[in-house]
Structure 1
Amino acid sequence: MSTDKYVVLRTRNIVVPTLDNIGTLGRASASELAPQSIEIDEADLTAKERSNLRRDPRVRAIAPPMPMKLVSPMEASDVDASALSSSTWGVQAVRATESPFDGSGITVAVLDTGIDPNHPAFQNVELLRRNFTAEGEDDQNGHGTHCAGTIFGQDINGKRIGIARNIKRALIGKVLGNGGGSSATIAQAIQWAVNEGAHVVSMSLGIDFPGFVEWLINEKGLNVNPATSIALEAYRANINLFTELSNFVRAQGSFADGTVVVAASGNESVRPQYEIAVAPPAAGTGIIAVGALGETANGLDVASFSNNQVDVSAPGVGIISAVPGGGLGSKSGTSMATPHVAGVAALWAQRQLDMAGRVESNTLLAQLIASGTTAPLAPNVEEEDVGTGLVQSPIN
């Protein structure tokens, strides 16, 4: 009997109503009920096994693993640090330079291509690393190092590149190698980050839909029409997978420090010719989808490559940050906008921690989205392109 590979997300220790407890479950307080934990497994399943799992009340999502790829930069170049002003334009735009918060006490996770652990931007930061690929542990691409530098990089030669530059603990999940990754790996990495206490998870990656269609054509021998139909169903199932995973991440915040997940919307648009909607995992409900902004004479405007239907936006053009080997480089993309939002989220999380003694997921998500402002944006930008606008750091 033929099988296919699937990702299965299910709950553990679910409380099943019975004749004995049905009258008491509704009266139980949050403190009396333990949070449900989850399992994320990848298994070869027959059609009958999939049908049985769909009837299991513990199973919340079943999805075929789809290829994941970097939200690759639209341009990249080396930078002479001596030519920089005191702070990058992105750090200034989100008002991190005016904020009394610096990320103290907050743990962030960067799920990307790894990191250069010897870069001076990451000195005095405890880097807990886990490699989900078959490659070496360090960053062979430079993408992950650049994103991490924007979130929590320390100053380089007196130049500020990082938003939450006093973060002392960071989780680095290498989920993408030279051959990309898969949605199964990303889901498992999110679970790992949450279990390790991440308050903020940053992901500058997305599903490779065209690549999956091509794989179905080349490996399964399908014509383009059925291949596209099958890929669309897999796409829908993966959106549900990340939505359900996000629900559990937020629910855990009711019992312990919470987590927000931030993801790039993608660089597939070619404005003004056409615009592409945000792709998974950013398309999952409860995951903050980020669009990119660039500087213009009329104010900050939507980057030509930025996908739409986003929740918030951030600087994503000409962003200077760390690159492997100890230097600095400029890159553009929603990949570069996403760590700005993650860094600002870390500042809001610190504010919560200082004021309430804990971080609550839903409140943090609401504060971050509500921080968006359209004041510095160019005229006539559309809401679905920028969400609530440019994210802002807490000032008091």
Structure 2
Amino acid sequence: MATLIVIPRQRSAALAQAASLESADSLHSASLQEVQRLVAGTEFAGRPIMTERGLVPSGREDATETGAPALESARGAGAPRVLSALGVVLLENPSDETLGALSADAEIVPNIAIPAVTPVAEATEATCNPWHLDKINVQAARAQNLTGKGVRIGVLDTGVEASHQEFAGKNIQFAEFNAAGDLISTTPRDAGTHGTHVCGLAAGRTVGVAPDASLSVAAVLTTLNAQGRLTGFLAQIMAGLNWLAHSNFASAAVPISRCPMMNASLGGAGFNNYLLSSLQIIQSAPAAFLFAAIGNAGRSGVNNHGSPGNYQITCGIGATDINDDAADFSDWGIENGTGVVKPDMSAPGVDICSSVPGNTYGLKSGTSMATPIVAGAAALVVEKHPALARNPMGLHSRMLSLTDPAPAMKPTAFQSGFNKVGRGRLDLTNL
């Protein structure tokens, strides 16, 4: 089946109001109404709709079928699937007539492949030296007994080896999605090594910035492309993002605690708005903020940074080394269409030691190593200032203030008229 993503151009008043109530029931109901309105008069009118809760018959707002046979039958029949936290619909093989009808109210996007931000260097490590923790002065947080306790970090990546010793005793929620955006497993695994490394840096016991934070991990970068690079598909990534966003709506039906910050290491070079409206929705109501790797194509010159790291509404993270020099691979530049200059800030990202599958450790270099260090620091900030869990832009502003500007003043930081370090390198001294 060919999956297409239908993104309404304008959010309905009912959906906006439901999201503002931060109620899973209200959002679920409003999203169903939005889908039913969109598909009215198309071949999908009258069909049941698949949601996170089950199968909803036409004209109803409650899920009456949750068994696997009914869901598989509906999936096979091409039932519309709603990602209710995003206000997005996934359709299978719509006719040209349906596409024409939908195009008046929505943007129809193909299920394109989106690569992971792949590390530029990797190595095994017999003994682990977490120098990145000293570099950002994590001791300042520990002196205040800040460890991320009671805060949940959302991760979009290749998965996680939950049995690794770095995560001993940790609460980890896990969901794996296939290329079409279907939930296929809740049993933790890592399709590569990247996700385990990232999770360790955010919340590992010995290498993590927030060792007592909980994790919600969406495995969405699970397919090797022709170049041997782990890749996800847009429907897959949106489904994972929707699942993480539902963490903001804890209820009997969605019993997952909130994750006010999310970490992503994905996207090709150039600006693409494929996730922009979804992130705007999540940021405006469920109150979650995305920290995104800015990219590792800096050796090819300026303006190779990709989306979502180059969105104005995200915090794009660059990488520095142990000497506080900008990593030569770390992307930077200006987004010509929006005038946004990136990265926003930087963190250690060269030869960073963290957990890898096999209950061992490894070194990786990349902006996708720097990003979970910042996301982990954001968990410490929310632990200290709980109100920032409901204030994404306030959290962003606070994170930008927690930077050492000295690395941004070094000659190595300036390239082609822009600064590769952004505001500066993460520093928790004044946390």
TM-score bin, normalised by smaller chain? 0.7 to 0.9
How far 1:175 sits from its partner (Å)?
0.6
Structure 2 match to 1:142:
193
Q: 2:210 aligns with which of 164, 167, 170?
A: 164
Q: 1:39 aligns with which of 66, 81, 87?
A: 87
Which residue identity lines up with residue 96 of structure 1 in the other structure?
V
Which residue identity lines up with residue 98 of structure 1 in the other structure?
A
Structure 2 match to 1:312:
345
How far 1:283 sits from its partner (Å)?
2.4
Q: 2:406 aligns with which of 375, 378, 386?
A: 375
- Structure 1 CA distance for aligned equivalents of residues 348 and 147 of structure 2: 19
For the pair 1:190 / 2:241, whether they are aligned, the reply is yes
Which residue identity lines up with residue 391 of structure 1 in the other structure?
L
Once the two structures are superposed, residues 213-234 of structure 1 have per-residue CA deviations (whole angstroms, 9 ceiling, x without a partner) of xxxxxxxxxxxxxxxxxxxxxx
SS across alignment from 1:148: helix
Distance 1:55 1:337, change over 3 A: same
Once the two structures are superposed, residues 55-89 of structure 1 have per-residue CA deviations (whole angstroms, 9 ceiling, x without a partner) of 22xx4x432222122211111111122x63xxx22
SS across alignment from 1:302: coil
For the pair 1:173 / 2:222, whether they are aligned, the reply is no
Q: 2:325 aligns with which of 301, 315, 335?
A: 301
Structure 2 match to 1:325:
358
Structure 2 match to 1:265:
294
- Structure 2 CA distance for aligned equivalents of residues 41 and 389 of structure 1: 39
How far 1:378 sits from its partner (Å)?
5.9
How far 1:51 sits from its partner (Å)?
4.2
How far 1:371 sits from its partner (Å)?
2.2
Which residue identity lines up with residue 39 of structure 1 in the other structure?
G
How far 1:114 sits from its partner (Å)?
0.8
Structure 1 match to 2:204:
153
Structure 2 match to 1:386:
421
Which residue identity lines up with residue 368 of structure 1 in the other structure?
M
Q: Is the 8 A contact 1:290 1:310 kept in 2?
A: yes
Q: 2:140 aligns with which of 91, 98, 110?
A: 98
- Structure 2 CA distance for aligned equivalents of residues 163 and 115 of structure 1: 17
Structure 1 match to 2:115:
69
How far 1:40 sits from its partner (Å)?
2.3
Which residue identity lines up with residue 262 of structure 1 in the other structure?
F
SS across alignment from 1:301: coil
Q: How many residues align?
A: 331
SS across alignment from 1:68: strand
How far 1:305 sits from its partner (Å)?
1.0
| Structure-2-length-normalised TM-score | 0.69
Distance 1:53 1:333, change over 3 A: same
For the pair 1:121 / 2:166, whether they are aligned, the reply is yes
Once the two structures are superposed, residues 322-359 of structure 1 have per-residue CA deviations (whole angstroms, 9 ceiling, x without a partner) of 11111111110111111111111111121221xx4853
- State how 1:211-226 maps to structure 2 within 5 Å: none
- Structure 2 CA distance for aligned equivalents of residues 334 and 358 of structure 1: 24
Which residue identity lines up with residue 265 of structure 1 in the other structure?
I
Distance 1:293 1:119, change over 3 A: same
Q: Is the 8 A contact 1:268 1:276 kept in 2?
A: no
For the pair 1:206 / 2:267, whether they are aligned, the reply is yes
Q: Is the 8 A contact 2:260 2:389 kept in 1?
A: no
Which residue identity lines up with residue 318 of structure 2 in the other structure?
G
Once the two structures are superposed, residues 260-319 of structure 1 have per-residue CA deviations (whole angstroms, 9 ceiling, x without a partner) of 11111111121xx623432112223312111111133xxx11111111121111111010
How far 1:96 sits from its partner (Å)?
1.7
How far 1:178 sits from its partner (Å)?
3.5
- Structure 2 CA distance for aligned equivalents of residues 357 and 11 of structure 1: 29
Q: Is the 8 A contact 2:124 2:363 kept in 1?
A: yes
Q: Is the 8 A contact 1:9 1:241 kept in 2?
A: no
Which residue identity lines up with residue 211 of structure 2 in the other structure?
R
- Structural RMSD (CA): 3.0
Moved more, 280-289 or 123-132: 280-289
Which residue identity lines up with residue 38 of structure 1 in the other structure?
L
Identity %: 25
- State how 1:78-93 maps to structure 2 within 5 Å: 78-81=124-127, 84=129, 88-93=130-135
Structure 1 match to 2:285:
252
Which residue identity lines up with residue 284 of structure 2 in the other structure?
A
Q: 1:340 aligns with which of 373, 376, 395?
A: 373
- Structure 2 CA distance for aligned equivalents of residues 39 and 151 of structure 1: 29
- State how 1:270-285 maps to structure 2 within 5 Å: 270=299, 274-285=301-312
Report which structure shows greater RCO (CA 8 Å, sep ≥6). Answer: 1
Distance 1:153 1:52, change over 3 A: same
Which residue identity lines up with residue 201 of structure 1 in the other structure?
M
How far 1:46 sits from its partner (Å)?
4.8
For the pair 1:289 / 2:316, whether they are aligned, the reply is yes
SS across alignment from 1:386: coil
Q: Is the 8 A contact 1:243 1:287 kept in 2?
A: no
For the pair 1:131 / 2:202, whether they are aligned, the reply is no
Structure 1 runs not aligned, ≥5 long: 17-24, 156-160, 210-234
Structure 2 runs not aligned, ≥5 long: 31-84, 179-183, 225-230, 248-257, 333-341
Q: Is the 8 A contact 2:260 2:288 kept in 1?
A: yes
- Structure 2 CA distance for aligned equivalents of residues 73 and 38 of structure 1: 29
Which residue identity lines up with residue 325 of structure 2 in the other structure?
D
How far 1:98 sits from its partner (Å)?
1.3
